[in-house]
Structure 1
Amino acid sequence: MGHMTSVETEQEDDRSKRATRSSMLANRIVLLGASNLTLSLPLAIQQIQHCCGGPSEVLAAVGHGRSYGQSSQVLIRELPGIIESGLWSQLDSWCARPTYALLTDIGNDILYGYQPAQILQWITWCIDQLQRQSASIVVTNLPITSIESLSEWRYQFFRNVFYPFCQLSRREVIECAHAVHQGLIELAARKHYVLCEQDPAWMSPDGIHYAFGSRKRLYQHICKHFNEVHELASRAERKQTSFSSWQQRPQFAYKKMWGKERLCPQPSGLLADNTVVSLY
Structure 2
Amino acid sequence: MLTALYQQSSPVNRIVLLGASNLTLSLRLIIQQIQHHCGGPSEVLAAVGHGRSYGESSQVLIRELPGIIACDLWSQLEAGNTRPTYAFLTDIGNDVLYGFPPHQILQWVTWCVEQLQKQSAYIVMTNLPIVSIESMPEWRYQLFRNLFYPSCQLSRNEAVERAKVIHQGLIELAARKQLILCEQQPEWMSMDGIHYVYWKRRVSYQHICAHFSVSRNQADLAVTNQRFSQKWLQHPRFAYQKRFGKEKRCPQPSGLLADKTMVFLY
Structure 1-normalised TM-score?
0.91
SS of the residue 2:210 aligns to: helix
Q: Select which of 199, 204, 208 maps to 2:194.
A: 208
SS of the residue 2:222 aligns to: coil
Structure 2 unaligned regions, length at least 5? none
| Structure with bigger RCO (C-alpha 8 Å, 6+ apart) | 2
* 1:185 equivalenced with 2:171 (yes/no): yes
Q: How does 1:129-278 map to 2 (within 5 A)?
A: 129-227=115-213, 230-231=214-215, 233=217, 235-239=219-223, 240-278=226-264
The 1:46/1:14 distance shift into structure 2, 3 A limit, reads closer
Verify the 8 A CA contact 2:37 2:210 in the aligned structure 1. yes
More divergent stretch after superposition (78-87 vs 92-101): 92-101
Q: Deviations over 1:13-47 (max 9, x none)?
A: 963x33322x2x11000000000000000000000
Letter in 2 for 1:18: Y
The 1:69/1:234 distance shift into structure 2, 3 A limit, reads closer
Verify the 8 A CA contact 2:3 2:253 in the aligned structure 1. no
| Equivalent in the alignment of 2:61 | 75
SS of the residue 1:273 aligns to: coil
* 1:115 equivalenced with 2:101 (yes/no): yes
Letter in 1 for 2:50: H
Verify the 8 A CA contact 2:6 2:262 in the aligned structure 1. no
The 1:61/1:35 distance shift into structure 2, 3 A limit, reads same
| Equivalent in the alignment of 1:19 | 7
Structure-2 separation of matches of 1:193 and 1:205: 29
Per-residue deviation, 1:179: 0.2
Letter in 2 for 1:48: I
Q: How does 1:10-89 map to 2 (within 5 A)?
A: 15=4, 17-21=5-9, 23=10, 25-89=11-75
The 1:267/1:234 distance shift into structure 2, 3 A limit, reads closer
Structure-1 separation of matches of 2:90 and 2:99: 18
The 1:82/1:235 distance shift into structure 2, 3 A limit, reads closer
* 1:98 equivalenced with 2:98 (yes/no): no
Q: Indicate the percent of aligned positions where both proteins have the same amino acid.
A: 67
SS of the residue 2:117 aligns to: helix
Per-residue deviation, 1:181: 0.2
Verify the 8 A CA contact 1:52 1:233 in the aligned structure 2. no
Verify the 8 A CA contact 1:30 1:59 in the aligned structure 2. yes
Per-residue deviation, 1:97: 1.5
Runs of 4+, deviation exceeding 4 Å: none
SS of the residue 1:101 aligns to: strand
Structure-2 separation of matches of 1:48 and 1:216: 12
Structure index of larger Rg: 1
| Number of equivalenced pairs | 264
Verify the 8 A CA contact 1:110 1:173 in the aligned structure 2. yes
Structure-1 separation of matches of 2:24 and 2:188: 16
Q: Deviations over 1:41-85 (max 9, x none)?
A: 000000000000000000000000000000000001000000000
SS of the residue 1:237 aligns to: helix
SS of the residue 2:192 aligns to: coil
Per-residue deviation, 1:241: 3.0
Structure-1 separation of matches of 2:233 and 2:85: 23
Letter in 2 for 1:206: D
Structure-2 separation of matches of 1:236 and 1:134: 22
Per-residue deviation, 1:245: 1.2
Aligned-residue CA RMSD (Å): 1.4
Verify the 8 A CA contact 2:52 2:68 in the aligned structure 1. yes
The 1:248/1:94 distance shift into structure 2, 3 A limit, reads farther
